[in-house]
Amino acid sequence: MCITGKKLLILGGTSASLNLVKLAKSMGVYTVVVDEADVSKRVAKQEADAHFEVSTTDIDGLMKLVEEEHIDGVFCGPSEFNIRNMIRLCDVSGLPCYTTMEQWNRCANKDEFTEYCRRYGVDVPEEYGIHDGMTDAELDEIDYPIIIKPVDGCSSVGISVCRDKTEVIHAYIKAMNASACKRIISQQYIDNGGELFGVRYFVQDGEAYPYLLIDTYVADPITRKSLISAYTFTPSKYSEYYLKHMDKQVRAMIKGMGIKKGTVFFQSLPYKGRIYFHEMGYRLSGGMIYKLTEPLMGINDMKMMIRCALGGECINKEEIGNIDIHCNGRVGAQLMIPLETGRIAKIEGLDEVLTIPAINDFIQYYSVGDTIESEYIGTLQQHFGRFSLVADSKDEIQSAVSLIQNRLVIIDAKGHRLNRMLFDLNRVTQ
């Protein structure tokens, strides 16, 4: 299907949409960006072919724009907030959409996702029924530590790890405040040193194809105050186990959930020879994972989803043939730079580290003068930036990571280093 010249309406004009606009334009697509902010405050609007000040929640206003501008498709990248708006707009306009609201809610709700895992024989952590009226005796029966989070949460907001009963009520309130539907889920916290396993699938006509298996390490496995990713590496050391023991069940689960097309990912916890699923996303990754998959195997999930939004296939036969779980013998990684609270006064060494050959891409979220607030700690807003690296060997990647962490220094006005939370490469074992 040719999409050159077609018009794509992009919901949201922040920096999160910037790569989406650039990529769509490179494909010959005419881009129209909307939100209620002025163009001077929105970098994606500045890059787009056209832009309008219409709220992404104003479905009537967006529908009028679709008709007047002869829009061919709607998309919003990884924004969970705007995905719901996209679905509503596509419902009333008849424009293509990779998902329905029913499918989206089924995947986004952690309770429903956990129930599907159990139904299809996919391991999940033990659950506990936490509520605000629990007695000390009930709290004493729990096998700590546990993790408490909103069932509809995202971006690591509202998540807490409780080591004993004294922390449960505060964590419960925090999760409830972060939940739009006012429901939380509490599970056994699997203490495996802060290691996660992730797998991504493409879905076309109800058939699921795994295309990326990746290991992730959280920033702070000791105090557990920052349960955000610090480092990812592919191919995963769990690839053989997963493909042999879990892939078949997960493919069946995806079909059983009624997912017909798009991209889905699962996050899980490897522990004592098994892998426990705990979360699912039915969307693109906020980490621009195509910055790894494109150089490693010629697959770009954002391009595919743009095509899908304009009525084309999510994945075609040629792209399916390009999939190589083992990355054609190469390796990829992403290094995140978590910050402490404070106002950035100086950034040193960035220009130097960007000359490192293994660095394929860098996304910067903060600049001099920006402030990292205390409420950002433990959420994705804590990250200064994200490096994507591709190389022929693990040693080459690790050398690059060491150099980045040694040379990049982010300082506040008092001379204190804000990027003190350096990733320990000794955690990465094969």
Q: Is residue 271 pLDDT above 80, yes or no?
A: yes
Neighbours of 244 (CB within 10 A): 9
Percent of the chain with pLDDT over 70: 97
Q: Is residue 155 pLDDT above 70, yes or no?
A: no
**41, 342 contact by CB (below 8 A):** no
Q: What is the mean pLDDT of the chain?
A: 92
Q: How many residues does the chain have?
A: 430
Q: Is residue 141 pLDDT above 90, yes or no?
A: no
**103, 259 contact by CB (below 8 A):** yes
CA proximity to 344, closest of 313, 306, 379, 373: 373
Please name the residues in contact with 9: beta carbons below 8 A apart, sequence gap of 6 or more.
Answer: 32, 34, 62, 65, 66, 69, 71, 73, 74, 75, 89
| pLDDT tens-digit readout, 374-422 | 989 888 889 999 999 999 999 999 999 999 999 999 999 999 999 999 9
Q: Residue 82: in which H helix or E strand, if any?
A: helix 80-93
Lowest mean pLDDT among 97-111, 178-192, 279-293: 178-192
The Cα 350–Cα 6 span in angstroms is 38
| pLDDT tens-digit readout, 87-140 | 999 999 999 999 999 999 998 888 899 999 999 999 998 888 888 778 888 888
Angle at 317 between CA 313 and CA 321, to 5 degrees: 135
Q: Is residue 430 pLDDT above 60, yes or no?
A: no
**91, 59 contact by CB (below 8 A):** no
Neighbours of 143 (CB within 10 A): 9
Neighbours of 255 (CB within 10 A): 15
Res 153: pLDDT? 67
Distances in Å between the Cα of 117 and the Cα atoms of 124, 213, 334 are 7, 19, 28
SS3 103: helix
SS3 325: coil
Domains within the chain, CATH numbers bracketed: 7-97 (3.40.50.20), 101-122+191-328 (3.30.470.20), 126-188 (3.30.1490.20), 330-430 (3.30.470.20)
Lowest mean pLDDT among 131-140, 152-161, 181-190: 152-161
Q: How far apart are the first and last CA of the chain?
A: 42
